[in-house]
Amino acid sequence: MLVHHQLLHAAVLTPNGQWLIQHRPDSSVRVLDGATAMVELAAEIQHRIRTTRNDTR
């Protein structure tokens, strides 16, 4: 969903349950350890979006 909405460039689930994510095409790949870390990342992105929207209002 984060890739679909262009909030991440790429997110790939590996067979061992880790996630490989990339914010932009030119950024380095990060490894997240499992679903909990992915949910935490989604929460960080959501917080950043909401904070930015409040600043522009």
* Tens place of pLDDT per residue across the chain (57 aa): 888 888 899 999 999 999 999 999 999 999 999 999 999 999 999 998 888 776 555
pTM, 2 dp: 0.76
Which residue from 4, 2, 46 is spatially nearest to 19, judged by alpha carbons?
2
CB 41: neighbour CB atoms within 10 A? 19
